[in-house]
Structure 1
Amino acid sequence: MTVAQRLSLADPAHRDQVPPGQVPPDPGPPDPARPHAVVIGAGVGGLSAAALLAARGYGVTVVDPLEAPGGRACAHRQDGFVFDAGPTIITAPWLFETLWKDCGGTFADDVDLRPCLPFYRVRFDDGTWFDYSGDRAAMEAEVARIDPVHGVAGYRGFMEESRRIYEVAFEEMADKPFHSLAVTAKALLGLVRLGGYRSVHSVVARHFRHEKLRTLFSFHPLLIGGNPFSATSFYCLIAHLESKHGVHYAMGGTNALAAGIANLVRRNGGRIRLGETVETILTEGRRATGVRLASGETIPADIVVSNADPAITYGKLLAHLPRRRWTDGKIGRGDYSMGLFVWYFGTSRRYDAVHHHSMIFGPRYRGLLDDIFHRRRLAADFSLYLHRPSAVDPAVAPAGCDSFYVLSPVPNLAGNADWASEADIYRRRIERRLEETVLPDLGRHIVSSRIATPIDFRDRLHSFQGAAFALEPKLLQSAWFRPHNRSEELDNLYLCGAGTHPGAGLPGVLCSARIVAGLVPDPVTLKAREGQARGGQT
């Protein structure tokens, strides 16, 4: 059975009908007739889980410390510019269309999604460019420019292998819970046959001889926090996923997508409490019973869903609980994703030669990744992802201006970078690199600027070690080995988001939410069970 065949979970009888495109008011207190779910974190995973649970008949309260819903997918608004704070690349749009359908809405009524063509423009350090797209003929022509002898055959072989991995790792596994070693062993056996024990780069290197092509077709794990030289080859599926479903942009930014999911929550009677921080998950024995906020307020719940980093869920929110699997020691021994340095800036002129999504590779590939993931030191060089949404969206910048963000992978806070003193120095180095490559005379035209370092990810987004994508997606930190969607530590506690199965990226966190929605008890059954328990106590 494929992902598409397992998607419909919601009961239309529970939907509160609100006209499409309208923002419903926050409802009052939860209906006592409904079982109550508290969702910790209003990231895309948490919002999606909340929307599905509300549509199924749960009373839902989402709690988040930020000023707007979205988590990493919220927006910074300043000086007339809109900067997406985190994810900017939307793939597998049908997952969102089905989410809207299951929650009583129509995706196109709330979100204006546009295809990006090409997907990315890639600049190599010698100044050559590659237009990366899902058009096979165009891709073969681009590949042949770099390696006219072996390139096209390598591309065809790689895309066929990517398709085979996709059909198992995504279509069969992405929305399945992995709570049983037996189930995991059976699933992984199929993936081992496909070479899941190998790294992404090793698979790519089997197909391509030219180093530029090896770089080009192996960088994708970096978009979800993985080192291409150690991320399991399962993530080779991304090439086929993009080719099949495309790369898209939500007008207004990815934050508009998050806002749309938040409205699904509200339309189905859920509440979203912003500017509130969960301090502790309340427990009785081995059951989660609610949360306590930093203000001291307690919110009782029949189930708790955590969209927080699992290291924070277990290591901080459940610090009082003796844990059997996710102990402080195990959390500390995990391998975590890299950190990110993000510079958001607006310019007083437009750079119309710059594409929507650009990858700007530096002089090193493996050496730079070793510095980031293993030596954990801030290197003198970098590779960059440059996002220019104003190329297609006039709403994100004042007239005649451009809105940008540039992202540089850096070590997480397990490294020794002193961001308090180095952040602006690093920003100025990136500015010079952009001036030399794609944005001439940039310094004279900057009119708005802000930065985010791994410290911001730790303090603002509550990411363990400031890692931008939680646990690194290695083989023994995937599927069963990743924090489970149904907690191993507590009954009535569920986890979704980048740090749990199936992993980071918008498709991954949405699938994690759907897994949670399929694991929680039916609300009618749960309410009846509670009534029986109370009757027995009486």
Structure 2
Amino acid sequence: MNTALIIGAGFGGLALALRLQSAGIATTIVEARDRPGGRAYVWRKDGFVFDAGPTVITDPDCLRELWDLSGSTMADDVDLIAVSPFYRLKWSDGASFDYGNDDPALLAEIAAFDRRDVEGYARFLRYSEAVYQTGYVELGAKPFLSFLDMVRAAPALVRRKAWQSVYRSVSTHIRDERLRQAFSFHTLLVGGDPMRTSSIYALIHSLEKRGGVWFARGGTNALVDGMVRLFERLGGKLILADPVEQILFEARKVTGLRTRSGRTLHADMIASNGDLVHSYGLIAGSRYAARQTRVLARRRFSPSLFVLHLGLRGTFPDLAHHTILFSDRFKPLLNDIYRDGRIPPDPSLYIHHPSATDPSLAPPGHSTLYALAPVPHLGHADPDWHSFGDRYREIVLDRIRDQLIPDVRERITTMFHYTPVDFSADLGAHLGNAFSLEPLLTQSAWFRAHNRDDHFENLYLVGAGTHPGAGIPGVVASAKATASLILGDG
């Protein structure tokens, strides 16, 4: 195969495009929005730079590898800055926990909660390193196309007790409830409930320990722009602001794309980095695709997000780059979001404060901030977000006022929010989900969307809905798995 079309310029689509273009396959990306990035979109307002997300960069080596493929150097296009601490975790009783890569400091933080958990943490770290080797190094970029692939992986998954939840695995080693939350919340950053997500996802702790947590100077959008520059230097073509409206096919081959502007593009193969349900819905006239759309729509999708973006007067040297504010109702709140379809009145918040690391993201003497609250997707809770969003914004501001910035409202110069309705409208996300399929064991590996379609022999998938899942390392690994199939098939 000599030519390729990719739908969507998110991290997965860009990573796949770089792999294909580096291998000599003439690749064109077709993106619906006016900028590349997908979920890593960016807004520039009143001198502030607001990244939509994702904002946590781990395993920078998986990104550097994309430049290495063509003999290029990532540092020529992207400046990564180490973030320390990785996260500051806070509870309403005033307790705080700095979570980072300084081992003596981390052990001292753990001991301040419960000295017995220092040894428990050492056991958990050994477990995390073991599942990292199994789930990320060995299986992370391996495509699962047949159930036999899953059977071959099963013994390793059984050894790592993959049927247990992350929270259960952490609790086996750690006694203090707040520390249990501290070492299991990561699944929320990839759309998973710590009480239900497979303990394989405990590998995220080892991933962070090994590779650190990073931020791209200029924001996550600067990483996207760096990938685009490399892609175009290699001869790749990027089409913006032209949504794909139809995937064309003949028999068991896809043949091209038709876009809203009237373009018809043809290639030897097509890959979609779009939402799974939306992608199959583009294959009009195919009974197989219609069936796939129905099947996928019945799967369990991750929750959505309410994201409040703030431009504030003043700077906050004591406010970490990443802060987690835990609700007092950790387990019941998760049930609200994942099981019962209730929008929490007391949300846990992830606070992103990028101007702590890169002051250029705000005007002088100002700060850029966003607050992210997990909420049910539209299939579980569907208020009128156009009006309810304003009310929920006040709840989020109250949480920031009470725990971080007492006069936050008086400091606001720029403010806007993003809701599940926006995820649906802007990204074609089924039910407004934020992370594609929920990362359950029964929706992982072979049970996730396959990197090559089972019917159309030259249709491929990449991104959060495929193996291994959401998050920058996950979608970049999915691109590696998909590229291995394409280049092997070629």
Q: Give the TM interval when normalised to the shorter protein.
A: over 0.9
Contact 2:198–2:440 (CA<8 Å) still a contact in 1?
A: yes
Contact 1:155–1:207 (CA<8 Å) still a contact in 2?
A: yes
CA displacement at 1:296 relative to structure 2: 2.7
Contact 2:308–2:370 (CA<8 Å) still a contact in 1?
A: yes
1:253-295 deviations in Å (ceiling 9; x for gaps): 1111111111121011111010010011110001011111122
Give secondary structure in 2 for the equivalent of 1:520: helix
The one of 301, 310, 327 aligned to 2:267:
301
Aligned residue pairs, count: 489
User: Which residue is equivalent to 1:365?
Assistant: 330
CA displacement at 1:326 relative to structure 2: 5.7
Runs of 4+ in 1 over 4 A off after TM superposition: none
User: Which residue is equivalent to 1:56?
Assistant: 23
| TM-score computed with the length of structure 2 as normaliser | 0.98
Greater gyration radius: 1
Matched, 1:137 2:104: yes
Distance in 1, matches of 2:22 and 2:345, equals 50
1:23-34 alignment, distance < 5 Å: none
1:28-427 alignment, distance < 5 Å: 35-148=2-115, 150-314=116-280, 316-323=281-288, 327-418=292-383, 419-427=385-393
CA displacement at 1:327 relative to structure 2: 2.5
CA displacement at 1:477 relative to structure 2: 0.3
CA RMSD of aligned residues (A): 1.3
Percent identity at matched positions?
Answer: 44
Distance in 1, matches of 2:487 and 2:321, equals 43
The one of 388, 391, 412 aligned to 1:446:
412
Distance in 2, matches of 1:311 and 1:189, equals 32
Distance in 1, matches of 2:214 and 2:289, equals 42
Give secondary structure in 1 for the equivalent of 2:287: coil
CA displacement at 1:204 relative to structure 2: 0.8
1:13-54 deviations in Å (ceiling 9; x for gaps): xxxxxxxxxxxxxxxxxxxxx822110000011011111111
Distance in 2, matches of 1:41 and 1:320, equals 22
Distance in 2, matches of 1:266 and 1:354, equals 38
Contact 2:275–2:427 (CA<8 Å) still a contact in 1?
A: no
CA displacement at 1:429 relative to structure 2: 1.1
Distance in 2, matches of 1:87 and 1:103, equals 26
Distance in 2, matches of 1:311 and 1:453, equals 20
Contact 1:347–1:445 (CA<8 Å) still a contact in 2?
A: yes
CA displacement at 1:60 relative to structure 2: 1.1
- Which runs of no fewer than 5 residues in structure 1 stay unpaired? 1-33, 527-538
Give secondary structure in 2 for the equivalent of 1:499: coil
CA displacement at 1:139 relative to structure 2: 1.4
Aligned AA for 1:303? Answer: M
CA displacement at 1:325 relative to structure 2: 9.8
- Which runs of no fewer than 5 residues in structure 2 stay unpaired? none
Aligned AA for 1:58? Answer: I
Could you tell which deviates more after superposition, 409-418 or 357-366?
409-418
Distance in 1, matches of 2:300 and 2:419, equals 19
Contact 1:63–1:273 (CA<8 Å) still a contact in 2?
A: yes
Distance in 2, matches of 1:424 and 1:94, equals 41
